[in-house]
């Protein structure tokens, strides 16, 4: 993500948690704001001079942003929400580009777990809102297309790597663990 976003870009990182990405983007010369539900998270970023916005993504009727951004980042966020379709469509007017990352539910270890135990991914361990949605790489591409979004690029950020041979780069649906999607929202249209 850091390489993809050019210097001088206006960026909003939603659901940033304790990520270092907003700080690295600021160092790079971007104008960065962060949004999170946690006031503790926001207070820490405010100490570093970043703009902050407290919001609850589940309440799309209150998702009104004061300005637009070159990029809105939702990294490892959408799978935790009940209404990811509404979230993206509500945020669409505020950006030309989304950068989205989600775990790949078709990752080979999850497939093997299903094969040998008869159980799919554990939906939650400590709290029922841990993961509410699951997508394989192929499913996520189809889901974005159904919403009318255009994916310019997708990259598996990690996964199966044996002796430097990064299988996840060649076969992301099987060997990619987490995948990053560069999405153009300017072409998005709402499907009824």
pLDDT tens digits, residue range 68-104?
Answer: 999 999 999 999 999 999 999 999 999 999 999 999 9
Any domain includes 174: yes
Instruction: Give 156-184 pLDDT, tens digit per residue.
Output: 989 999 999 999 999 999 999 999 999 99
Specify if 64 maps to a domain.
yes
- How far apart CA 58 and CA 83 sit, in angstroms, is 7
Q: Is residue 11 part of a domain?
A: no
Does residue 80 lie in a domain region?
yes
106 pLDDT higher than 90 = yes
pLDDT at position 182 is 97
* Number of domains, the chain: 1
Is the pLDDT at 60 greater than 50? The verdict is yes
pLDDT tops 80 at residue 123: no
How far, CA to CA in Å, does 175 sit from each of 14, 117, 157? Answer: 27, 20, 11
Would 3 be classed as within a structural domain?
A: no
Q: pLDDT band for 28, please (50, 70, 90 cuts).
A: very high
Query: At 177, which CATH number?
Result: 3.40.50.150
Contact 43, 64 (CB under 8 A): no
Domain span at residue 168 reads 56-184
pTM, 2 dp: 0.90
Kindly report, residue by residue over 125-168, the tens digit of the pLDDT.
666 567 888 899 999 999 999 999 999 999 998 999 999 999 99
Question: 96 is written with which tokens?
Answer: 């030309």
Tokens of 4: 């993809």
Residue 192 has pLDDT above 50, yes or no: no
């Amino acid at each position: 993500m850091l390489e993809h976003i050019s210097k001088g870009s206006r960026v909003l990182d939603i659901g940033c948690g304790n990520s270092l990405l907003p700080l690295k983007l600021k160092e790079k010369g971007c104008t960065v704001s962060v949004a999170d539900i946690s006031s503790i998270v926001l207070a820490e970023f405010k100490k570093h001079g970043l703009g902050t916005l407290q919001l609850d993504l589940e309440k799309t009727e209150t998702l009104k942003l004061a300005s637009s951004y070159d990029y809105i980042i939702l990294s490892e966020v959408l799978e935790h929400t009940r209404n990811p379709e509404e979230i993206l469509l509500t945020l669409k007017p505020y950006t030309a580009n989304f950068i989205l990352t989600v775990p790949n539910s078709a990752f080979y270890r999850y497939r093997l777990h299903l094969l040998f135990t008869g159980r799919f991914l554990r939906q939650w361990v400590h709290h029922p809102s841990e993961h509410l949605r699951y997508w394989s790489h192929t499913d996520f591409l189809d889901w974005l297309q159904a919403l009318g979004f255009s994916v310019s690029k997708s990259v598996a950020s990690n996964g199966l790597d044996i002796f430097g041979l990064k299988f996840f780069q060649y076969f992301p649906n099987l060997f990619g663990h987490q995948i990053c999607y560069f999405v153009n929202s300017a072409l998005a249209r709402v499907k009824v």
